[in-house]
Structure 1
Amino acid sequence: MAEPGNTAPGRLGPVLEAIGTGAYVADEQGRIVAVNSCAERLLDRPAAGLVGQDAHDLLHRGPHGEPLPTTRCSMRQAFHAGTPAHGDGDYFARGDGSPLRVSWMITPYDLGDHRAGTLVVFHPPQPTPDAGAVPEHPAATLTDFERLALLAETTTRLTSTLETDEALRRLVDLVVPRLADWVVVDLITERDEVWRAAVVQADGDTLTHHEDLEGPMPPVPEESPMPLSRALRGVASALAGPETYQGPPDSGIAVEQRRLFAATGIHSAAIAPIRSTREVLGALTLGRAKQPGRFTTADLPLIEDIARRAGLALDNARLFQRQRAVAETMQNHLLPQMPPVPGLQMAVRYLPAPDASQVGGDWYDAFTLSDGATALAVGDVLGHDLEAAAGMAQLRNILRAYAWAQQGPPSRIVERLDEAITSITDVAMATLVLARITRADDGRWELSWTNAGHPPPLLVTRDGLAEYLTDGHGILLGTGLRTPRPDATAVLPPGCTLVLYTDGLIEAPGRTLDEGLNRLRQHAAALAHRPLPSFTDQLLRRTEPPGLDDVALLALRVPSRSAGIPF
């Protein structure tokens, strides 16, 4: 049961302020969802007058401030194309109606919760240099605005992922071939070992990974003055070339650097530390082999800025991965093993929401009761984080105790649980199906259950008939209402499969709950003949849970024959 998450504007504020020029983010409809203070100043408009407005209708103008039809608006056309683009000589309307000439860059931006958006960065055009003026740094290929746009794109793209490999992939895409035709990333692991994580060559728009040059590196020397060694110690950025490493090597890293320059043909390189706020994480090397011009000291501030932003993104990814590892360990201890029950097959699966901490409030359980029956349960505590997981553990343990001590019907046990939930747990609300399965004297298996606001169990016969068990339905737990809970009973057909699940399996954006239920029923019916492990795996694969919420799944299959009695 996912709870509402943080909205994109709350996350975007610090990101946009770090850009350093006018910037705003628009949603899929073109409405502005967040702006930075620089945009407010340039447009002479407060954020309250920008957020929620259609960016084209509010801002896009012709040279004299006249409204601009969408068919003549290059920015609007680029917005609908959904690809990065830039332009010069367009106009935005300031608060007093006067036109502001701008250069702009737009790029797709992930708003979270599987929503697409667009980042717009803009700035008054730079003055045109005098004719015949010689550029101060011939090798620098980017204008000041292009550099600013690159830093803005670096910030937004790298901060929108919490996966280390994805952050590295995006970093590579950002710098080659725009700044160099080779990029090398060396990372310091949590055990203070150096790993050459990426060596990538750009040939036009084609990127080639050279895995033969990647892998473990020698340790960082404490005193070496060589550029990469200094960068890995966080001392300084520097320029390098093949001649830098031609002398007698002072460390194993110097040997690897000589090998790198020889293998790649790099004639000029710029090396910068990758730092977080707490430690040095590695080094970024940009190299030019086929590209003309050498890096100069004037190029280092830009590369340092890119490396600093990469460091913040990688540090966030590492912190998230540590939290995820703790959560996965906790999850492994919280989710139980299924008890062996003669004659019954059981299979369980758990899919964590990828945007959460890899553990949450969805759970399943099965255990033997004091009278020999088997209890089955699946539930969902509000939220999908460590707090929800802790509440889930409390709820499950109390349920086990009540079910063992009290040999009443499932409804009575859940009533007791509901009475206790607000007093002795941290759970605010939860849904639950509790069932007990017993074997009758004639060999048949009987199921009794009660449902506290949870999606209904699905029963699939071996012939592919599938129906939801909608009886026994009552209100969810934690409402404070004390209404009688119903029980329902059914005889399970021979060879049938019972599926208990949580709502992450059937809920998806743009799809109604009925559509999700029908989709699950159809796929389960088609898989009825599969062995239970295959049935369970294929059911998850075919229903394609969107990953917005955890998924807990418990499937149970009764035998086709029991005690030699044909059915």
Structure 2
Amino acid sequence: MVLQWDVIGDAEQSVLADPVRLRSVRRLGGAGPDEAFDRVAMLVRMLVDAPLGVVCLVDAENQYLAGQVGMPEPIASERTMPLTHSFSRHVVVAGEMLIIPDVRVDPRTRGNPSIEQLSAISYAGVPITDPDGLVVGALGAVDHEPREWTPSEITLLTELAEVCSSEVCLRIARATAEESRRAAESAHHQLALLTDLTESLAATMDLDEAMRRLGRIVTAQLADWCVVTYADEPKGAPQVSAAHRDPGRAADMARLATLAARSRTDLEAIMRATRRDGGYPVRRLDGSAKLRDQLTDAEIAELAMAAGLGSSMVAPIISPVHRLVLGAVLLVNGPDRAPFSAADERIAAEIGRRAGLAVENSRLYREQRHVAEVLQRSLLTELPQLPGVELHARYLPAQDGAAVGGDWYDAFAQPDGSVMVAVGDVSGHDIEAAATMGQLRNLVRGNAYGRDDEPGVLLTQLDQALCGLRVPASATAVLARVRQSWSGYSISFANAGHPPPLLLLPDGRVQVWWIPPEPLLGLPPHQARTSTVRYVPPGSTLLLYTDGLVEDREQLLDDGVARLAEVLRTSAVYPGDELCARLLEVAPRRSDDIALLLVRLTGEVAPG
């Protein structure tokens, strides 16, 4: 009935297709019987004495018989009629009641196929409206003969249409509330996922670990399984990580990642969707067949099918600095789960952006760490080769901080044959602490070299220099001078708020050189610092170290020092390098920098 559609015209068609009106119709459901509206249709037949009573909901293409009585099969069961057969569409278009005694002679309805198929001769229809007053359908009465509808019948139809409109408004309100609830739940879920992802990625600078965490989070909350391909540089070699919601498939996912890393063809197939014109935010892949066809490796395809291939999508990992694609996140749901939605696409795009930020953060961290390590190493002393004294040293940055800090060690020979050794710790774990440490070490050297003063005097003069030169240093330190004596060695030392030196004697005993505490370096000058002298036999080992080796928030400093002393005693037989490695294992946790200096006194006693 093309002619009938042409009669309606574009203006009337636009009313039927109005998106706001159609949204209300969709919220009321599609075809199917509705008990409440069936009762209204029955009342129409009883009260108006019409053989056909209908409650019609009209969209842009069909009318749905939400309520009906008297309709023949299959319409009575299917509850759907095309608009070419609809009288109610004219009520929707006009937005008002439509009363037609004989549809065969009315120019709007005389070609309607329902005249022949339903023996519909007379029609009375009243609008059914939504909460905004838009007409979503009509309550209709149909007779098989020409009929003059009386005012009382029209009034009854109007009242029953009001009942239908009230029911429509109530159902739309419920549907709107349910949509809002679901939207709020979805927004909360998305926010929780992105919050978890952001916190997890921010907690590590290791790129491989970051991508493993990403896989665990998205498979727990968004997809059944995923494959993440990434490179830490725009043209770097890609790495692959894979995860599945089912922990029992961890081995399969590891194998899939290994194979995919070798198969550049398959990786490029996954990433190709993100490389056109700089990369799409997200590309949907429709169904398992399309994804399977992109995989050339038979074992990869087999593993993917076993993991479950339903709907899938690819989100690019884009560098926020270079605006280049660094990889992609392939998200896959099994065939038993609903396809990814538009909301899932948006959150996948955000996952890709945050993964790109994690890649950049990791790259920048590695660059900064390398620079910091080079700086730190350049500031630390290359230990001299001295007769009768064997020197070993180690420096380790904190694991949970920057790779540079204020811990330092130093050793140098004096013109008189004595050896100066020092270990110190400037407050802080950053570039500024390292720079201050370099200044302090150079001041110690410049202040001490060529002078025969005892360490206490030298540290007193160092305090004055730090204050006078306005060096912003706050540090602990132990400075010691080692001399050969008639009985072996004499060691004089001064301690500025630092952990006590340890001395391992040839017989295996360990001395802890506790002395009354004195202030840190860099504080306003106070009374002169003191020096302590100890005489030790050849074959002894002096250990200087920073607090990162012995401090533990859950224990006293004395306990940490005792633990270190025990390791020093039990490991005395090992060579210097291995002994240093064993001593470093004492640290309870690497939350602070560690520096240690091992001084083995191996020389012959100087002639008297």
Query: TM-score band, normalised by the shorter chain?
Result: 0.5 to 0.7
Q: Tell me the secondary structure at the aligned position of residue 250 of structure 2.
A: strand
Q: Cα distance, 1:564 vs. partner?
A: 11
CA distance in 1, matches of 2:455, 2:577: 28
Q: Tell me the secondary structure at the aligned position of residue 176 of structure 1.
A: helix
Which residue in the other structure is 2:433 paired with?
388
Amino acid at match of 1:346: L
Amino acid at match of 1:343: G
Q: 2:243 matched to 1:212?
A: no
Q: Which runs of 5 or more structure 2 residues have no equivalent in the other structure?
A: 1-171
Whether the aligned pair in 2 keeps the contact of 1:275 and 1:307 (CA below 8 Å) is yes
CA distance in 2, matches of 1:196, 1:477: 49
1:265-284 equivalence runs, <5 A = 265=305, 266-278=309-321, 279-280=323-324, 281-284=326-329
Amino acid at match of 1:315: E
CA 1:481 to 1:319, structure 2 compared with 1: closer, same or farther past 3 Å? same
Higher relative contact order (CA 8 A, sep 6+): 1
Question: Residue 200 of structure 2: which of 157, 169, 193 is its match?
Answer: 157
Question: Residue 342 of structure 1: which of 364, 387, 390 is its match?
Answer: 387
Q: Tell me the secondary structure at the aligned position of residue 498 of structure 1.
A: strand
CA 1:257 to 1:226, structure 2 compared with 1: closer, same or farther past 3 Å? farther
Which residue in the other structure is 2:500 paired with?
456
CA distance in 2, matches of 1:192, 1:156: 28
CA 1:315 to 1:289, structure 2 compared with 1: closer, same or farther past 3 Å? same
1:190-201 equivalence runs, <5 A = 190=233, 192-201=235-244
User: What does the per-residue CA deviation read over 1:57-80, in whole Å, with 9 as the maximum and x for residues that have no partner?
Assistant: xxxxxxxxxxxxxxxxxxxxxxxx
Q: Cα distance, 1:366 vs. partner?
A: 0.9
1:345-424 equivalence runs, <5 A = 345-424=390-469
Question: Residue 189 of structure 2: which of 137, 146, 149 is its match?
Answer: 146
Which residue in the other structure is 2:218 paired with?
175
Which residue in the other structure is 2:551 paired with?
507
RMSD: 3.7
User: What does the per-residue CA deviation read over 1:264-293, in whole Å, with 9 as the maximum and x for residues that have no partner?
Assistant: 234542111223532343221112457645
CA distance in 2, matches of 1:462, 1:529: 10
Q: Tell me the secondary structure at the aligned position of residue 435 of structure 1.
A: strand
CA distance in 1, matches of 2:492, 2:438: 24
Amino acid at match of 2:592: D
CA distance in 1, matches of 2:187, 2:258: 37
Which residue in the other structure is 1:447 paired with?
491
CA 1:419 to 1:531, structure 2 compared with 1: closer, same or farther past 3 Å? same
Q: Which runs of 5 or more structure 1 residues have no equivalent in the other structure?
A: 1-126, 248-253
Whether the aligned pair in 2 keeps the contact of 1:394 and 1:425 (CA below 8 Å) is no
CA 1:424 to 1:290, structure 2 compared with 1: closer, same or farther past 3 Å? farther
Q: Cα distance, 1:221 vs. partner?
A: 12
Which residue in the other structure is 1:229 paired with?
275
Amino acid at match of 1:503: D
Which residue in the other structure is 2:116 paired with?
none
CA distance in 2, matches of 1:256, 1:194: 20
Amino acid at match of 1:475: P
Which residue in the other structure is 1:562 paired with?
604
Q: 2:584 matched to 1:540?
A: yes
CA 1:475 to 1:291, structure 2 compared with 1: closer, same or farther past 3 Å? same
Alignment size in residue pairs: 424
TM-score by length of 1: 0.66
Q: Tell me the secondary structure at the aligned position of residue 452 of structure 2.
A: coil
CA distance in 2, matches of 1:219, 1:411: 70
Identity %: 36
CA distance in 2, matches of 1:425, 1:264: 66
CA distance in 1, matches of 2:275, 2:289: 16
Which has more helix, going by share of residues? Answer: 2
Q: 2:594 matched to 1:551?
A: yes
Amino acid at match of 1:504: G
Q: Tell me the secondary structure at the aligned position of residue 363 of structure 2.
A: helix
CA 1:204 to 1:399, structure 2 compared with 1: closer, same or farther past 3 Å? closer
Which residue in the other structure is 2:528 paired with?
484
Q: 2:571 matched to 1:527?
A: yes
CA distance in 1, matches of 2:220, 2:522: 57
Whether the aligned pair in 2 keeps the contact of 1:193 and 1:217 (CA below 8 Å) is no
Amino acid at match of 1:157: S
Q: 2:309 matched to 1:264?
A: no
CA 1:438 to 1:217, structure 2 compared with 1: closer, same or farther past 3 Å? farther
CA 1:257 to 1:401, structure 2 compared with 1: closer, same or farther past 3 Å? farther
User: What does the per-residue CA deviation read over 1:427-465, in whole Å, with 9 as the maximum and x for residues that have no partner?
Assistant: 3311111111122255x1221111122111011223332
Q: Cα distance, 1:200 vs. partner?
A: 3.3
Greater C-alpha radius of gyration? 2
